[in-house]
Amino acid sequence: MNQILTLIIPSGWPQESRACPWQLHAADGRLLAQGCAEPGQWPAADDGDRCRLLLAGRQVAAQPARLPPPPQGERQAVIAAALEDSLLEPAEHLLFVLDPTPLADGRRCVASVGRARLAALCQRLRELGWPPAAAWPLALALPSGQALALGGELSLRQDEGFVALPLDATLADWLDLLAPATPLRASALDADAAHTLAAAGKRLQAEELPPLRIPDGPGFLVGELAPPRPHVDWARRLRPALRLAAGLGALLVLTAAGQWGWHAWQARQLRSEIARQFGAILPQTPMVDPILQARRQLASRLQSSGALAADDFLVLADTLADLPPEQLPLQALAYADGRLHVSVARLDAGATERLAAAARQRGLTLSPPAGTPPEFTLSAGERR
């Protein structure tokens, strides 16, 4: 939102008079300009500019009501139900808004405006290029005890709400009734109102218009009159996070590539070392599975020198000696091609764990026991 135009709308605008007071504020709240003129003399609107309406005089009414706590008590239907017995027209013809500040006894000041009246104002202002972003009673933007005269009416803010008084011969009587002792501070926004305030004598103390304190939020603009939500440029907002994510992603890829290269280099070094040692052990043998080939060559040389190889029967059968006969009741043994096939009457979990530990200690492979009765195989070399 670039600029916001605050329009103080009299009850007779635009039918009785096309001029109304206005204030132009920057996005940060600074007052840029102000005046009282017809729409053709208002500041020009740019894309993104919005206006706020402050509704003066009898077009808005106020009364206190006891409501449920928010957010339930801020719903239009709940407010209408609470005021049903005191409304002068059907609730569906009205829109409601609450004074943000509760009264001393916990009640809320409820302001109401005609739905058709406000819809017509919004439509007219959109045609003028100033789409409304909020609409509030003028009195709720004034401090308590302050009055503002405009368009033949006096909008008066009080501790328990606000009232609209006619600027005519009955004004003094109304002032005596509402504030019999204390003079009221009043500001005039047109020449006729200034003349009436001067004639009121001591009952009204004329002064300049104080800064307006407009409540936050859309006020009366709810439902079909609610202002459109501002477009959020998510791409611009997320751009720093996306840049950070892209940088972290690139760093992660580079780190992974570096680790892959390091592991590949280590693997090449290990293969080169295995090939070198294999060539020293078996210089005339083609290398297929160097570890298995070296193990077989070692077993052959051990056997040729009279020593036991890892796959000899005695080495394999020695594993069975780690378990007592009652835990490993043998039924059959069969040795062939460096493998010892064993069949037992029974084999519980504890015995299986002890047998596996004995095989690992000797560098042997134990196949998982299976079948009934259980059978397993012992062979040289740990399972890879």
Question: Does residue 303 lie within any of the structural domains?
Answer: yes
Residues 243, 218 share a domain: no
pTM beyond cutoff 0.85: no
Residue 151 is given by DSSP the state T
Position 174 confidence tier, pLDDT thresholds 50, 70, 90? confident
Residues 163, 108 share a domain: yes
Residues 333, 279 share a domain: no
CATH assignment at residue 9: 3.30.420.380
Helix axes 234-281, 290-304, angle to 10 degrees: 20
Q: 13-20: list long-range contacts, CB under 8 Å, 24+ apart.
A: 13/151, 14/39, 14/124, 16/151, 17/151, 19/190
Residues 140, 283 share a domain: no
Question: Does residue 375 lie within any of the structural domains?
Answer: yes
Residues 121, 16 share a domain: yes
Residues 177, 250 share a domain: no
Which one of 252, 269, 287 terminates a domain?
Answer: 287
Q: Please state the rounded mean pLDDT for residues 244-250.
A: 86
Helix (H, G, I), strand (E, B) or coil at 332: strand
Task: Write the burial class of residue 231 (CB in 10 Å: 0-12 exposed, 13-18 middle, 19+ buried).
Answer: exposed
Q: What is the DSSP string of 190-234?
A: SHHHHHHHHHTGGGEEE-PPPPP-PPSS-BT--GGGPPPPPP--H
Residues 265, 191 share a domain: no
How many distinct structural domains can be found in the chain?
A: 3
Q: Please state the rounded mean pLDDT for residues 108-121.
A: 93
Q: What is the pLDDT of residue 131?
A: 92
Residues 250, 294 share a domain: no
CATH assignment at residue 354: 3.40.109
Question: Does residue 78 lie within any of the structural domains?
Answer: yes
For residue 298, pLDDT over 80 is answered with: no
Average pLDDT for the chain: 84
Which one of 184, 202, 225 terminates a domain?
Answer: 225
Residues 296, 174 share a domain: no
Q: Please state the rounded mean pLDDT for residues 91-105.
A: 89
Q: Please state the rounded mean pLDDT for residues 37-61.
A: 90
Q: What is the pLDDT of residue 173?
A: 80
Helix (H, G, I), strand (E, B) or coil at 128: coil
Q: Rg of the chain's alpha carbons, rounded to an integer?
A: 47
Question: Does residue 230 lie within any of the structural domains?
Answer: no
Residues 328, 207 share a domain: no
Residues 89, 182 share a domain: yes
Residues 254, 199 share a domain: no
**Domain, as residue range, for 367:** 290-380
Size (the chain), residues: 384
* Helix-then-strand count for the chain, H and E: 8, 17
What torsion, rounded to 10 degrees, do the Cα atoms 124, 125, 127, 133 define?
-130
Q: Lowest-confidence range among 25-34, 80-89, 209-218, 282-291? A: 282-291
Which one of 249, 268, 287 terminates a domain?
Answer: 287
For residue 229, pLDDT over 80 is answered with: no
